[in-house]
Structure 1
Amino acid sequence: MRPPTRIPAPALRRPGRCIRSLILALALLPAGAVAQTAEPADAPAAMLALRYDPAIDPAGWWVSEKLDGVRASWDGSVLRFRSGRALPAPAWFLAALPPVALDGELWLGRRRFDELSGLLRREDPADPLWREVRYMLFELPGAAGDFDTRLARLRSLAEAADAPWVQAIPQQRVPDRAALQRLLGEVLASGGEGLMLHRADALWQPGRSEALRKLTPWLDAEARVVGYLPGKGRLQGRVGALQVERADGRRFRIGSGLSDALRANPPALGALVTYRYRELTPAGLPRFPRYLRERTLP
């Protein structure tokens, strides 16, 4: 039997983000924004990664850095979050994008995810921080040809955009597993999260794909926030841990990785968060889970 959900004290509550977003969507957008419809579209079709298998020979794959940004899909006229909700980017930012479907990551730089998340939550296209955001392109959804072909076209599109905020994410080839591990070490030492591998001869396909892999020194997964546990001692009056639930209904706590700001203003009930862990316990739960970020914006 599941333990009862602990509802947060009033000081820990914050308004539901979906309600807030709906209200804002119904209002007039600020000057410089692109008009969007209030009703969100279905989630854009996307190619999703599986974990890297050490048995894979990486010589036939393109390798790029795994960015800690926010995934964004462009359908030729509207930029959307992974959920399908329109993303309120500045008009000048969108004007540089070509009239073809793109998949990529909004990125400020390594270890700047919280800044980016804050920018997108403010929903202010006039915010000067947008001048530092880059749209790092890594795929052409639905396009014909193998990844070699799509990558060449993606690079051409980024070059033709002639805008510093539109870039094809750097991709390289490595000769063997040892070179792949050296590259991983370099990225981690520089503050990166890991690597992405895309099989060069693979066609584009939606959903989890054997042709797209992520390589990090830890495991990661997602769970939904269902309650808060009060802090003690120094954390008195703030959140001590998040109570979360996996898709299979199993519940556990995440306390590590929460900043003081998050403990005072935690992810809303129902939010989907990403956490890291090294392995599973014999009971099948993550050992030493550590909060990483909210997965998407509503």
Structure 2
Amino acid sequence: MPVTTPVRAAAEPPPALLLAREAADGQDPWGYLVSEKFDGVRAYWDGARLRFRGGGTVAAPAAFLAGLPAGQPLDGELWLGRGRFDELSSIVRRGHADAHAWGRVHYMVFECPNGEGSFAQRVQRLQTWAAASPMRSWQPVEQTQVAHAAALQQRLEHVVADGGEGLVLHRADALYSTGRSDVLLKLKPAHDAEAVVMGYTRGEGRFEGQTGALRVRDDNGREFLVGSGLTDEQRRDPPPLGSVVTYRWRGETLQGLPRFPTLVRVREAGW
């Protein structure tokens, strides 16, 4: 079994952010503003530094940072485009800023942390700031109303057919809050969530002497195995204990556990 090392702690506590729950089947979009779910890297601008969700500092070029509003927090996703997460990851995870590569990175902002008023009012505020700042490094995410569940499903299918990941629904009347909450929902063709690596199982057959599966624990305290989706490299050197992984699944077992969980990606330490 490969020897693993502890996850490196972030230099400081991670920022408190709002996290989405899964939308229900046939979700009624009434009362929500709907946007595309960007397959990017969550980034929090605290008014002076750009930080990952895990607390680490993003090594962005000075010109990019100069285009962010001083003293005004923003929350959003660093994004290159649909289906380009791996390329984006290779850019933002570097310890130095590659100005040329960062020239293709978009900061898609969907929230102004600690802002007053409803979410709809905060969205309007973001749009006003953007209109007044032509030299900015960020852009507000388009938020729209959707009439009914059938229209929501049609929009989801359209986004996915064009290579998108899914949709996000945010209660239009919601005051700013943090933590995992029903005011923010994600809607995707297949469910996904995060879990913490608690251990490993030994591989068998062609995986003899390697990792067979990750033993993980989700936010609800459920423990289960994630064996599908691991690369050959990850089986030889699996994600460290305590690291956070994203997995995808379809439905639940009779025991209430995710059915067919598959590893999607590992969140880098500090992200």
What interval of TM-score do these two structures reach, taking the shorter chain for normalisation? 0.7 to 0.9
Runs of at least 5 residues in structure 1 that lack an aligned partner in the other structure: 1-7, 22-38
- Could you list the structure 1 runs, at least 4 aligned residues long, displaced by more than 6 angstroms after superposition: none
Calculate the aligned-residue CA RMSD, in Å.
2.6
In the alignment, structure 1 residue 85 sits paired with structure 2 residue 56:
yes
Letter of the aligned partner of 1:95 in structure 2? A
State the match for 2:88 in structure 1: 116
Question: How far did 1:164 drift?
Answer: 7.0
State the match for 2:2 in structure 1: 9
Letter of the aligned partner of 2:2 in structure 1? A
**1:81 and 1:296 in contact (8 A); partners too:** no
What is the distance in 1 between the residues matched to 2:150 and 2:232?
Answer: 40
The number of residue pairs the alignment matches comes to 269
Report the secondary structure of 1:154's partner residue.
Answer: helix
Identity %: 50
Pair 132,261 (structure 1): closer, same or farther in 2 beyond 3 Å: farther
Q: Which one has a larger percent helix, Structure 1 or Structure 2?
A: 1
Give a deviation string over 1:178-236, Cα, whole Å, max 9, x none. Answer: 11110000111122221001222222222233322211222223222233445556656
What is the distance in 1 between the residues matched to 2:190 and 2:27?
Answer: 18
> Mean Cα displacement is larger for which, 152-161 or 255-264?
255-264
Report the secondary structure of 1:211's partner residue.
Answer: strand
State the match for 1:57 in structure 2: 28
Report the secondary structure of 1:188's partner residue.
Answer: helix
TM-score, normalised by the number of residues in structure 1: 0.79
1:44 to 11, 15, 28: 15
TM-score, normalised by the number of residues in structure 2: 0.86
Report the secondary structure of 2:103's partner residue.
Answer: helix
What is the distance in 2 between the residues matched to 1:224 and 1:236?
Answer: 24
Pair 208,124 (structure 1): closer, same or farther in 2 beyond 3 Å: same
Runs of at least 5 residues in structure 2 that lack an aligned partner in the other structure: none
What is the distance in 1 between the residues matched to 2:211 and 2:138?
Answer: 39
> Mean Cα displacement is larger for which, 230-239 or 45-54?
230-239
What is the distance in 2 between the residues matched to 1:190 and 1:149?
Answer: 30
> Mean Cα displacement is larger for which, 62-71 or 258-267?
258-267
Report the secondary structure of 1:122's partner residue.
Answer: coil
Pair 114,16 (structure 1): closer, same or farther in 2 beyond 3 Å: farther
**1:45 and 1:141 in contact (8 A); partners too:** no
State the match for 1:73 in structure 2: 44
What is the distance in 1 between the residues matched to 2:164 and 2:124?
Answer: 25
